[in-house]
A and B are shown apart, each in its own frame.
Chain A
Amino acid sequence: MNDPYSVLGVSPGATEEEIKKAYRELVRKYHPDNYHNNPLADLAQEKMKEINEAYDQVTKSRSGGGQSGSYNAGGGYAGPTGATGGSAEFTQVRAAINSGNLALAEQLLNASQSRNAEWHFLMGSLCYRKGWLDDARRYFQTAADMEPGNQEYLQALSFISRGGQPYNPYGYNYNAGTGGCSACDVCTAMLCVDACCQC
């Protein structure tokens, strides 16, 4: 394993406060929320694991084997294309999108007879994975219009209407013209605080 201090980006002489700060910044950077339904989510997860292990190792060695306070990444995270909900007709499509087999998902969706809300939602998910963000938004919009009560569709639409979950080392809302701190920003901030909170 790599030197835990270099993983955290601090020197071995760093104070506990400095280490904690560096760790929190890294958690903010590689948080699963930033890689929501992202094809690179697995790499971010690995990175998170490496950081947690390094932090545990450092805190343990300093406190002489005491408790560690790393963030637990395995909190049952699932993208909007998770296996929950959805009809049997599209189980295979959902599995294909989740496993990254986009060609198969596209083929199945094109071959399908129905053009219901779920079909539009899954087309949106497929587009999102391909990086076709504007098309994804339009499909999610149609799905939400066809079935207004569906939480899964609403969540996807709200996620894409915010422009993803931007992490910015220069702080939120840097660019003039983004408007003020919206309810979503507050939410995101709370999520991050929650993730870093050690209780």
Chain B
Amino acid sequence: MFGYVRPLKDELKVREYDQFKACYCALCHTLKSRYGAFSRNILNFDFTFLTMLLWDGTDRPAYQCARCVASPLRKKTYCAPSPALDLCAGYSVILAWWKLRDSVKDETFFVSLGDRLLSLLLRRAYKKASRAYPAFDETVRSNLEALGRLESAGDASLDACADKFAAITEALAAPPGGEAGSADKARPLRQLLYHTGRYIYITDACDDLEDDLKKRRFNPVANRFGLTSGVVPEEDRTVLRTTLMHSCALIGAAYELLPKNYWAPVLSNIIYLGMPETCFRVLDGTWRKGKGAANKGMDRTI
């Protein structure tokens, strides 16, 4: 997806960082074994977060060791197959496919050649994933379509647009096959994922602001504040930061109502440190350029 939902590495214990990497690698292995080698390209941090979130139980997972394309010499540790990994691999293929189709639809033929090729390569994987999770497939399709309509109409509010994307991430909470999970667990999980989606959508819009304006594409943040250049006035930036941090606060409040699983230390780092950090760095412009990297993590006060 986008990679905004990641831990703040500086604050993880070395052991926790290794566990996080093992989960990331495991998702990659699952993508390859289920959906073919090409689907590894869609691997990202956001779905690693989802995998850890949907993980069942507090027991230590079985770890395995293997070489792979990314690390052909040294063996890397990864978690053994689990239902959460299967689910998240399938979901990420479906979402990646529809995101590609969406940009193919929006761009002219030549500009979209790259995305056309990518979606062609992902087609088989998508067919398989959509057969396995038809309900999620339909949710993604219909909400991205609605989002496209809102964006081309151009008069919807920032939240109205974010809502369509958040509806997709919220649907990730529903167990496949529709069997009713425990209601006590389902409600916080839905709220958590709704606000995660809202956070991703708005953060992405802030991140893409300059590009979108240059290419005269619709940008919900530019639309909300009437911006014509990539520089966001301090006043508007405060509004954006506050509203994003509010979503983070609601994610935290929902997370505390879920039963803790094996990944609790990493999840808590992502929610309380990683996501705010990303939001700050996107808004002050150090996210993309890696500016301020030298000082990263050096001036923290707890």
> Inside 8 A of A177's CB, which chain B residues have their CB?
280, 284
Taking a contact as CB atoms under 8 Å apart, the answer to whether B245 and A137 are in contact is: no
A48 CB to closest chain B CB (Å) equals 11
Given A34-B253, A43-B187, residue A132 in contact with residue B159 (CB < 8 A): yes
Q: Which residues of A contact B158 (CB under 8 A)?
A: 134-135
**Residue interface bits B271-288, CB-to-A below 8 A is 1, else 0:** 011001100100010000
- Given known contacts A40-B188, A137-B239, A173-B301, is B256 in contact with A30 (CB within 8 Å)? yes
Is B87 in contact with chain A by the CB < 8 A criterion?
no
A163-B276 in contact (CB<8A)? no
Whether, in the assembled complex, B203 has its beta carbon less than 8 Å from a beta carbon of chain A, the answer is no
On whether the beta carbons of A43 and B157 are closer than 8 Å, the reply is no
Does B80 interact with chain A (Cβ within 8 Å)?
no
Main secondary structure of the interface of B (DSSP, over half): helix
How many of B's residues come within 8 Å of A, CB to CB? 42
* B11: interface (CB < 8 Å): yes
Cβ proximity bits B219-253 to A, threshold 8 Å, 1 near / 0 not = 00000100000000000000101110111111011
B224, A47: Cβ atoms closer than 8 Å: no
How many interface residues does chain A have, given as a range? 35 or more
Given known pairs A40-B188, A160-B246, A169-B268, the reply for A134 and B163 (CB within 8 Å) is no
- Cβ of A161 within 8 Å of any chain B Cβ, yes or no, is yes
Residues of A within 8 A of B (CB): 29-30, 34-35, 38-40, 43-44, 47, 127, 130-135, 137, 160-171, 173-177
| A-B pairs, 4 with minimum CB distance | A132-B159, A166-B249, A163-B246, A164-B249
B residues near A (Cβ < 8 Å) are 11, 157-160, 162-163, 166, 184, 187-188, 191, 194-195, 198, 224, 239, 241-243, 245-250, 252-254, 256-257, 268, 272-273, 276-277, 280, 284, 299-302
Instruction: Please list 18 pairs of residues, one from A and one from B, whose beta carbons are closer than 8 Å in the complex, sorted by A's number.
Output: A29-B256, A30-B256, A34-B253, A40-B254, A40-B257, A44-B253, A131-B198, A133-B243, A134-B239, A135-B157, A137-B239, A137-B243, A160-B242, A163-B245, A167-B249, A170-B11, A174-B300, A175-B273
